[in-house]
Chain A
Amino acid sequence: MKIKGTIFNIQRFSLHDGPGIRTTVFFKGCPLNCIWCQNPEGISREPLLIRQQQKCISCYSCFEQCPQGAVKKGISGPKVDLSLCQSCFKCSEICPTGAIEKAGRMIRTEDLVGELLKDRLVFEESGGGVTFSGGEPFLQPAFLIGALQLLKQKGIHTVIETCGYSAWKPLEQAAALTDLFLYDLKLIDEDQYLKYTGISGTEILKNLKKLVNLNVAIQVRMPIIKGINDDQKSLNQAAAYLREAGIKTIELIPYHNFGEAKYEKIGLEYKLKGMSKYSDADLQIVRTILNKAGIMTNSEGELNDHSRTGRN
Chain B
Amino acid sequence: MITAERGATERVKKLRAQSESTAPEISLERALLVTEAYRQNYGKVSKPLLRALTFKHLMENKTICINDGELLVGERGPGPQETPTYPELCCHTLADLDVISERKKISFKVSEKTKKTQQEEIIPYWTGLSMREKIFENMSPAWLDCYEAGLFTEFMEQRAPGHTVADDKIYRTGMLDLVSRIKVKLTELENGDDPDSAAKQDQLQAMAICAEALIRFAERHAEMAEEKARVEQDSARKDELLEIARVCRQVPAQAPRNMWEALQYYWFVHLGVITELNTWDAFCPGRLDQHLEPFYRQDLAAGNLDCERARELLQCFWVKFNNQPAPPKVGITLKESGTYTDFANINLGGVKADGSDGVNDLTYLLLEVIDEMRLLQPSTNVQVSKKNPDLFIRKAGEVIRRGWGQPSVFNVEAVIQELLTQGKSLVDARCGGTSGCVETGAFGKESYILTGYFNLTKVLEITINDGVDPATGKLIGLGSGKEVQFDSFDQLMDAFKRQLDHFIEIKITGNQIIEELYAKNMPAPFLSLIIDDCLENARDYNAGGSRYNTNYVQGVGIGSITDSLAALKKHVFEDKKYTWQELKEILQKNFAGREEVRQYLIHKTPHYGNDDDYADSIMKQVFKLFYESVNGRPSYRGGTYRINMLPTTCHVYFGSVIGATPDGRLSGLPLSEGISPVQGVDLNGPTAVIKSAAKMDHLLTGGTLLNVKFTPQVLAGDKGLDSLVHLVRSYFRMDGHHVQFNVVDAETLKKAQQNPEAYGNLIVRVAGYSDYFNNLSEQLQNEIIQRTAHESL
Contact = CB atoms under 8 A, between A and B. Distances in A.
Interface in A83-110: 95-98
19 contacts: A11-B793, A12-B684, A12-B688, A13-B723, A13-B790, A15-B719, A15-B723, A15-B792, A21-B727, A57-B596, A59-B596, A96-B602, A96-B604, A118-B687, A121-B734, A122-B730, A125-B730, A126-B722, A304-B719
Nearest to B594: A59
Contacts of B598: 96
B722 to A, nearest CB: 7
Q: Give the one of B611, B727, B793 with max A CB within 10 A.
A: B793
Contact of A21 (B602, B726, B790): B726
Contacts of B723: 13, 15, 21, 126
A121 B611 contact: no
Interface in B584-630: 595-600, 602-604, 611
Contacts of A13: 685-688, 723, 790, 792
A196 B727 CA distance: 40
A301 B715 CA distance: 12
B621 to A, nearest CB: 21
B596 A96 contact: yes
Contacts of A209: none
A292 to B, nearest CB: 27
A20 interface: yes
Interface string A269-312: 00000000000000000000000000000000100100000000
Contact of B720 (A15, A95, A118, A126): A15
Nearest to B791: A13
A57 to B, nearest CB: 6
A265 to B, nearest CB: 15
A14 interface: yes
B727 A122 contact: yes
Given A15-B792, A126-B723, A304-B718, A98 B603 contact: yes
B105 interface: no
Interface string B692-732: 00000000000000000000001001111011001101100
B690 to A, nearest CB: 8
A119 interface: yes
Given A21-B687, A128-B726, 15 more contacts: A12-B687, A13-B685, A14-B792, A15-B720, A57-B595, A96-B602, A96-B603, A118-B687, A118-B688, A122-B687, A122-B727, A126-B723, A126-B726, A301-B717, A304-B719
B169 interface: no
Contacts of A248: none
A16 B595 CA distance: 38
Q: Which 5 A-B pairs have the closest CB atoms?
A: A13-B685, A96-B600, A126-B726, A96-B599, A59-B596
Contacts of B722: 20, 126, 304
B387 interface: no
A125 B733 contact: yes
A61 interface: yes
Interface in A6-27: 11-16, 20-21
A308 to B, nearest CB: 14
Secondary structure class of chain A's binding surface, majority of residues: loop
Nearest to B597: A96
B427 to A, nearest CB: 29
B181 interface: no
Given A12-B684, A15-B714, A121 B599 contact: no
A118 B793 contact: no
Nearest to B728: A125
Contacts of B730: 121-122, 125-126
Interface of B: 595-600, 602-604, 611, 684-688, 691, 714, 717-720, 722-723, 726-727, 729-730, 733-734, 790, 792-793
Contacts of A16: 792
Nearest to B720: A15
Given A20-B726, A57-B595, A119-B691, A12 B685 contact: yes
B548 to A, nearest CB: 33
B719 A301 contact: yes
A122 B726 contact: yes
A49 B496 CA distance: 41
Contacts, number: 76
Nearest to B726: A126
A10 to B, nearest CB: 8
Contact of B733 (A15, A59, A121): A121
Interface string A126-150: 1010000000000000000000000
Given A15-B792, A21-B727, A97 B685 contact: no
B595 A59 contact: yes
Nearest to A99: B599
Contacts of A59: 595-596, 599
Contacts of B792: 13-16
Nearest to B686: A13
A20 B718 CA distance: 11
Given A13-B790, A15-B714, A97 B603 contact: yes
A126 B729 CA distance: 9
Contacts of A12: 611, 684-685, 687-688
Nearest to A119: B687
A61 B597 CA distance: 11
Contacts of B604: 96
A25 to B, nearest CB: 13
Contacts of B600: 96
B84 to A, nearest CB: 48
Contacts of A61: 596
Nearest to B603: A98
A198 to B, nearest CB: 26
A57 B727 CA distance: 38
A96 B603 CA distance: 6
Contacts of A15: 714, 719-720, 723, 792
Contacts of B595: 57, 59
Q: Give the one of B598, B717, B722, B734 with max A CB within 10 A.
A: B722
A221 to B, nearest CB: 16
A118 B613 CA distance: 11
Contacts of A11: 685, 793
Contacts of A122: 687, 726-727, 730
Q: Give the one of B596, B598, B600 with max A CB within 10 A.
A: B596
B601 to A, nearest CB: 8
Nearest to B792: A15
A157 B565 CA distance: 38
A185 to B, nearest CB: 23
A126 B728 CA distance: 10
Q: Give the one of A20, A21, A98, A122 with max B CB within 10 A.
A: A122
A65 to B, nearest CB: 12
A301 B792 CA distance: 12
Nearest to A16: B792
A59 B603 CA distance: 15
A97 B664 CA distance: 12
Contacts of A98: 603
